């Protein structure tokens, strides 16, 4: 686990700081209304509510917005493990795969429970000096407790080389 995890969590836990981060770095997520529901070393949950801005012509949440919420649930766990690391770690989504099971209406919460596996993958990337990838699963549940989507985001991590090397 990243020794700076608690510092990262404090930033994410501040609604104002996190909303400002989204507005400046992830404006689509800001306007779509993504919200962190839960976050710790092992799991992360991000919600999105259906509203005028994120709907599609079929009366549900646009698939790209659902994918964005799922990616954020995996990305929070990834960022928390790369935050202020030495050596610095680059991270990139290299693949996504999505399965949609039910019309997404109301509030959908995407949960990823891959924090330990992400941490191990990053440690492996650091110790080996090679890029490593991990497929992280995020499951979207509606207010009735029904699975509406399952989205797999594959993240790649690589330790950056020091400019002195």
pLDDT digits over 119-141, tens only? 999 999 999 999 999 999 999 99
Q: What is the pLDDT of residues 91-124, one digit of tens each?
A: 999 999 999 999 999 999 999 999 999 999 999 9
* Residue-averaged pLDDT of the chain: 95
At 143 the three-state DSSP class reads coil
Strands 44-49, 89-100: pairing kind: unpaired
Cβ proximity of 151 and 114 under 8 Å: no
Which CATH fold topology does 5-159 show?
Thiol Ester Dehydrase; Chain A (3.10.129)
Confidence bin at 156 (pLDDT 50/70/90): very high
pTM over 0.85: yes
Mean of the pLDDT values across residues 34-50? Answer: 97
Q: Residue 161's pLDDT is what? A: 83
Cβ proximity of 96 and 71 under 8 Å: yes
């Amino acid at each position: 686990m990243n020794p700076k995890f608690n510092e990262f969590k404090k930033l994410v836990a501040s609604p104002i700081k996190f909303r400002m981060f989204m507005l400046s770095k992830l404006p689509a997520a800001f306007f779509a209304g993504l919200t962190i529901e839960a976050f710790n070393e092992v799991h992360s949950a991000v919600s999105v509510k259906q509203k005028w801005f994120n709907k599609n012509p079929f009366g549900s949440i646009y698939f790209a917005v659902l994918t964005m919420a799922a990616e954020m649930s995996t990305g929070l766990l990834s960022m928390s493990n790369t935050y202020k690391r030495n050596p610095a770690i680059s991270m990139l989504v290299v693949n996504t795969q999505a399965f949609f099971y039910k019309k997404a209406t109301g509030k959908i919460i995407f949960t990823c429970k891959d924090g330990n596996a992400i941490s191990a993958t990053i440690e492996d990337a650091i110790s080996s000096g090679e890029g490593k990838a991990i497929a992280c699963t995020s499951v979207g549940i509606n207010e009735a407790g029904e699975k509406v989507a399952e989205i797999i985001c594959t993240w790649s991590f690589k330790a950056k080389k020091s400019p002195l090397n």
